[in-house]
Amino acid sequence: FTKILMEDKHSAKEIAKKTWEMENNVTERDILKFNEEENDKLFDTRPWLKDPHYFKDVKISVTALIKMVTHCRRGGDIEVMGLMQGKVIGTSFYVLDAFGLPVEGTETRVNAGAEANEYLGDYMGVCEDVGRLENICGWYHSHPGYAPWLSGIDVGTQSLYQAHQEPFVAIVIDPKRTISSGKVDIGCFRTYPEDYKGKESEFESVPMEKIEDFGAHANRYYKLEHSIFKSELDQSQFEFLWNQYWVQTLSTSSLLLCKEAVANTITDISEKVHKYKNNPMLMRRDKLVGYTTGRGERGGEAPKKDNEIAKINKGTTKMVLDNSHMLMSEVLKSMIFSHIECNNEEAKKDVEMEK
């Protein structure tokens, strides 16, 4: 009886883990050895000072990702913050580990105080004692329910880090949308120098009350590509962390956990539609122009931009897909546990017959 129960749980856990890896495109890679000579050479040349777009992508270990997501989920509606350890190879950040900070957070911002700085000092001291040579390469924080992007405060924080602790990257995770979609909703960012003005960041489904803040700083930073990898040494830690993540996922209902976020999203979409309908100038412009096109920097055609109603449609479509995914997850969990329950009943009958 116990053996059957454990086998069913084990297979279901493995399926969920493999599905999670496929959803987040996890690849295998072995880059854990720290090369001090390469690190010194990088800091001597500092190529990022000459090119604001020098860094192109961020490669995150599966262990670091699970730690960050679990931390962000524990925060609920409150923003949390942590730091990442890793290194730089060429134009890529490699995030190998992450740890949370004891910070004071609210639903809209997070501030690191003296306690967090003291904790950071102690943590890095322990890392040196055990031979962990990787530097702090970035920070992460959560945006519960309102997508990964950098607010005005975030831009200021990242700019400060880049001024005094380069190379440094910012990662933002939305734990609410991660739960609803099944795929980690994550963004990696770097800010531009003060005298450099970049292009506006790509479309994000941002709530009405945060659109002004999003638009005001959209050209102060750029988004980096990201990918997830795992190494042989990650496997044991990943198994341990996955057991915690798996239990948390199974023991909670995503539909119930995200019901407030879903209601807020519906209200937000309704407000955006109402605002759009009451703005004849905006409606007329979208109707006449449709998708706006311009001329690129070298005379070619610039990428097309969505008009306002297209942005609303994108946000609505994403909400519907996420809700469908949550419903499917609940159905699958019901099927798994119903199967286990049936096996339990059959096992009990077999025991009774043997008696």
How confident is the prediction for the chain on average, in pLDDT? 74
Is the predicted pLDDT of residue 117 greater than 80, yes or no? no
Q: Which H/E stretch holds residue 285?
A: helix 280-289
Position 186 scores a pLDDT of: 92
Position 172 scores a pLDDT of: 95
Overall average pLDDT of the 59-83 stretch: 89
Q: Where would I find the beta strands (DSSP E) of the chain?
A: 26-28, 57-61, 81-89, 92-100, 104-105, 110-111, 135-142, 169-173, 186-191, 221-230
Tokens 């105080």: give the residue: 113
Position 285 scores a pLDDT of: 66
Phi, psi of 25 (to 5 degrees): 50, 50
pTM for the structure as a whole: 0.67
Q: With bands split at pLDDT 50, 70 and 90, how would you rate the model's confidence at 296?
A: very low
Is the predicted pLDDT of residue 122 greater than 70, yes or no? yes
- Identify the CATH assignment for 23-251 out of 3.40.630.30, 3.30.1300.10, 3.20.20.450, 3.40.140.10: 3.40.140.10
Cα–Cα dist 272/242, whole Å: 39
β-sheet bridge partners, residue 111 = 104
Tokens of 322: 């996420």
Position 3 scores a pLDDT of: 43
Q: What is the pLDDT of residues 157-190, one digit of tens each?
A: 899 899 888 899 999 999 888 776 668 889 999 9
Overall average pLDDT of the 55-73 stretch: 91
Cα–Cα dist 194/215, whole Å: 17
Domain residue ranges of the chain, discontinuous segments joined by +: 23-251, 256-293+301-354
Cα–Cα dist 74/72, whole Å: 5
Is the predicted pLDDT of residue 234 greater than 60, yes or no? yes
Overall average pLDDT of the 54-82 stretch: 90
Region of 182 please: left (phi>0), alpha (psi -120 to 50) or beta: left
Q: Which of 50-59, 144-153, 162-171, 212-221 has the lowest mean pLDDT?
A: 212-221
Q: What is the pLDDT of residues 247-282, one digit of tens each?
A: 666 666 666 666 777 777 777 778 777 777 777 776
The b-or-e profile of 278-298 (16+ CB within 10 A means b, else e) is eeeeeeeebeeeeeeeeeeee
